Amino acid sequence: MTRVAVVGAGYSGFNSNTPDLSWKELMYEAAVRAYEDAGVDPRKDVDAFVTCAEDFWEGFAIFDEFVPDQLGAVLKPTFTVDADFLYGIANAVMIIKSGLADIAVVEAHSKASDILTFGEVIKFAFDPIWLRPIGKAHPYYFAALEKSAYMTARGYSDDVFAKVVEKNKANGRLNSDAPYAGKVTADDVLRSEAVFYPIRKLEIAQRADGAIVFVLAREEIARELTDTPIWVSGVGWWSETSNYDTMSFTAAYARKSAEMAYKMAGITNPARQIDVAEVDDRFAFKEVQHIEALKLAKSNEIPELVEGGYFGRGGDLPVNVSGGSLSVGNLLEATGGQKALEVVLQLRGEAGRRQVDAEVGVAQAWRYIPTASGAVAVFSR
């Protein structure tokens, strides 16, 4: 079966707001850049298009109907996955490996700034009978419930999560597309309001707009198109349960999807074999939870490693060198796209001032509150 490579990547944003562009225009901009990067004409060369979107984020139903125009996909095979960008990558990999397409495109975007009642939209993902009627708090408390259980089970203090924020906000300062980067110390984090105790304000990724488009191709074509194909060597996805009374609170979804992706990629010792990782950090504790779930370090060693800079830009295993969602912003279903984009740029050697030395990278995204679902993709040079 053929290998599959990323041969083009384009993006638009990422900004806290994009009042000048409609989501279609944002998507067009990302698509044009991706096709330019890959050297393909979507009208002639691309065989299949996969977009990733959730209707309630968009504000209209049957999103897939709105896709073709701005992606160059009119009168072409197109479908939408109601999930993160990394699920789209998994679908494109399957389409290409099965021989249905030589070249496939994956898109995801966020126009979060168009949503006026963000908390209410999240609440719409709650079981209507069980969960929606409980209390009036903004649903970020769902993340706080998970953090509380997780940090207690692991015996972590808040210093670990505060350090993660400090690291990611600092990393973002080298990324011109990270609107929420800044000089924030762990003390600043610990002093910020505990708006959803035990989650503090600075531990929460703010929303952002942006679009990401990847062009994927089978091996033979990938080698013709580019000197730096980035191989999608493994993909995985997993769902745990929608019930907060039975889920693990240790990101079992990330552990299982990573195991699936690692197996496909032939990775047996991720802590040694992975050089760079972009994991979902839309709440600071999620990064720690995901580092553990992706087996990038042992749970009892994580606090010391975080403190010692092991996951920093100059560390042994840089995590969220892009600045992560804490710096770039919460891109909704495009979150995994931003993570995959960073891994691809790092492996290509195109990450500019934040370049690290890497041959193999992993990108991971969670489907956000209130889910215990997510996907992982392993990329290699």
Partner 1 sequence: MAVGKKDISCPPYVKGREIKAEDIKEGKVTYWEHHPDIRYSFTAGQAISRFLKGLKEGKLLATKCDHCGRIMFPPRMFCELCFRPVDEWCEVKDTGVVETFSVSYIDPDAKPLEEPVIVAVISVDGASPKMGFMHILGEVDPDDVYIGMKVKAVWKSESEREGSVTDIKYWKPLEG
Residues forming the site for partner 1 (CB under 8 A) = 18-25, 28, 35, 41-43, 56, 59, 68-70, 72, 74, 111, 113-117, 120-121, 123-124, 128-129, 132-133
- Alpha-carbon gap, residue 70 to 23, rounded angstroms: 10
Query: Least CB distance from residue 146 to partner 1, whole Å?
Result: 23
Shortest CB 230 distance to partner 1, Å: 24
Backbone angles phi, psi at 174, to 5 degrees: -95, 5
Q: Is 5 helix (H, G, I), strand (E, B) or coil?
A: strand
Q: Give residue 85's Cα distance to chain centre.
A: 7
Chain centroid, CA 2 distance in Å: 25
Of 206, 167, 210, nearest to 185 by C-alpha is 167
Of 69 and 301, nearer to partner 1 (C-beta) is 69
CB 96 within 8 Å of CB 218: yes
Determine phi and psi for 124, rounding to 5 degrees: -65, -20
Our CB check for partner 1 shows the closer of 21 and 145 to be 21
Q: Computed from CA positions of residues 98, 346, 315, 329, in that sequence, does the dihedral angle turn out positive or negative?
A: negative
Closest CB to partner 1 among 9 and 184? 9
Residue 17 or 228 with smaller CB distance to partner 1: 17
Of 262, 266, 321, the C-alpha closest to 295 is 262
Residue 235: how many CA atoms within 13 Å on its side-chain side?
19
Cβ proximity to partner 1: between 117 and 268 the closer is 117
Beta-strand pair 230-239/209-218:
unpaired
- Residue 313 vs residues 154, 170, 308: alpha-carbon distances, Å: 25, 9, 12
To partner 1, the closest distance from the beta carbon of 58 in angstroms equals 9
What gap in Å lies between CA 289 and CA 127, rounded to an integer? 25
C-alpha distances (whole Å) from 144 to each of 242, 287, 320 are: 16, 14, 22
Closest separation in Å from C-beta 23 to partner 1: 7
* Least distance (Å) between residue 239 CB and partner 1: 24
d(CA 112, CA 73): 24
Q: What pairing do the DSSP bridges indicate for beta strands 48-52 and 4-15?
A: unpaired
Question: At its nearest, how many Å lie between partner 1 and the CB of residue 114?
Answer: 5
Give the distance, in angstroms, between the CA of residue 321 and the centroid of all CA atoms in the same chain: 13
Closest CA to 324 of 172, 201, 202, 174: 172
**Looking up tokens 């770039």, which residue turns up?**
328
